[in-house]
A and B are shown apart, each in its own frame.
Chain A
Amino acid sequence: MGEARDGVKVKRVVFVTVGTTCFDALVKVADCQEVKDELYRRGYTDLLIQMGRGSYLPAKSTGDDGSLAVDYFTFSSSIVDHLRSASLVISHAGSGSIFETLQLGKPLIVVVNEDLMDNHQSELAEELAERKHLYCSRPLTLHQTIASMDLNSLVPYTPGDATPVAKLINRFLGFPEES
């Protein structure tokens, strides 16, 4: 369960991010007892929530009483450091957050915001889930996803490459091929 030899518990942080959006449904469900218990059961020690423009405030906790330590903040100039130190990332379906996380090789659960009007975001999350790069979930099914996830079955994401586009643009404009 993550205990090192000298008895000090290894920190395993779950980082929840909603980017620049307002996604109270995700913050609420991440803060609910069911999900927190499930995360604790799976061996995580800390829950850090980046809540963006939402209005729901999670309950902070030090986690001394044998439960998850919970903390939150609204924004930070760059969440890269938080992503790097996380053992699991739970994110809204924004492409920026998704690819930042995948490029760092972190396990990712994407939660689709069902309150959004034109939900094209779910297309990307579902496609990447089909390719087994991440798990896709809805707020109400998050605890089930956490309970049943097998992070070892996730396929690492190979970062994309803009060179094919550049090649076509250069060729179209008549620039000589790169050597």
Chain B
Amino acid sequence: MGKNSRFCFSNLSSNLPITCLITFTTIFLLRVLNVIYRTGKPLGKRVSPQWPLSTLIVLGSGGHTAEMINLLLVLRKERFTPRFYIAAATDNMSLQKARVVENSLADSSETKGLSAEFMQIYRSREVGQSYVTSVWTTLVAIAHALWLMIKIRPQVVLCNGPGTCIPLCVIAFFFKVVGIRWSSIFYVESIARVKRLSLSGLLLYKLRIADQFFVQWPQLQRQYPRAHYVGCLM
């Protein structure tokens, strides 16, 4: 009996790196499954909310930002603060529009200390860029997203479609898995998507990364039953 256990032990120690790898991988996968299971379950029942919640708002060109601003105008700012706005590096208009909204808030509100920060993120791929060079730029974009997310560690993520939101949401999910920060990820599919989801929407829906997925047209809700139909925002 003693010899057997010594024999087993020596076998184990010589395979230690592999054993560790298998153990960590298993724990990681179990964690991922656990996070997916908990994704979409309302917070209120599990843990008492720690208000206010730091919020990341992902902006995109044109219609995306207009829709997001419409949503921000009906959210109580004192619940979602501090607010971090991220837009693609080549998109100047979106951050400008967000600043206008924040300035009008600062004017009309008596509460001091409502803070907002505005940041730009590298794009994974510009329109028309070759796919070969895109591999490198995508890696740079992911690294940049990771850097920004580590700084922000938001509790709430609001996004509505632009490609810029994918690295940020994936990293937010990763933070949930490894326990860096639990966040609630809300995705509103653009009003321009009537019959088909955008690529961003499809990814976040299928991979179950978004806690709540909102669509603006009933046709989409029929195709994607886990989505919430909320009517038109514009």
Q: A residues bordering B, Cβ < 8 Å?
A: 19-20, 94-96, 99, 103, 120-121, 123-124, 126-127, 159-166, 168-175, 178
Secondary structure dominating the interface of A: helix
Q: How far is the CA of A94 from the CA of B65 in the complex (A)?
A: 13
**Pair A169/B212 contact, Cβ less than 8 Å:** yes
**Pair B214/A121 contact, Cβ less than 8 Å:** no
Q: How far is the CA of A168 from the CA of B48 in the complex (A)?
A: 17
Pick the contact of B70: A20, A94, A162, A174 (CB < 8 A). A162
Q: How far is the CA of A172 from the CA of B188 in the complex (A)?
A: 15
Question: What distance in Å separates the Cβ of B126 from its nearest Cβ neighbour in chain A?
Answer: 15
* Residue B79 interfacial (CB < 8 Å): yes
Q: How far is the CA of A10 from the CA of B98 in the complex (A)?
A: 39
Q: B residues bordering A, Cβ < 8 Å?
A: 42-45, 48-49, 51, 53, 62-63, 66, 70-71, 73-76, 79, 156, 184, 186, 188, 190-196, 198, 211-212, 214, 216-217, 228, 230-234
* Chain B residues with CB under 8 A of A165: 71, 74, 188, 214, 230, 233
Query: Can you give 14 A-B contacts (C-beta < 8 A)?
Result: A95-B191, A95-B234, A103-B234, A120-B192, A120-B193, A121-B192, A161-B232, A163-B74, A164-B230, A165-B188, A166-B74, A169-B186, A170-B79, A171-B42
Q: How far is the CA of A166 from the CA of B14 in the complex (A)?
A: 56
* Chain A residues with CB under 8 A of B217: 127
**Pair A123/B195 contact, Cβ less than 8 Å:** yes
**Pair B192/A124 contact, Cβ less than 8 Å:** yes
Q: Which residue of B lies closest to A128 (CB)?
A: B194
Pick the contact of B196: A95, A120, A174 (CB < 8 A). A120
Q: How far is the CA of A170 from the CA of B44 in the complex (A)?
A: 10
* Chain A residues with CB under 8 A of B79: 170, 173, 175
Nearest 3 interchain pairs by C-beta: A174-B44, A160-B232, A95-B63
**Pair A160/B234 contact, Cβ less than 8 Å:** yes
* Chain B residues with CB under 8 A of A19: 62
**Pair B74/A99 contact, Cβ less than 8 Å:** no
**Pair B184/A96 contact, Cβ less than 8 Å:** no
**Pair B193/A123 contact, Cβ less than 8 Å:** yes
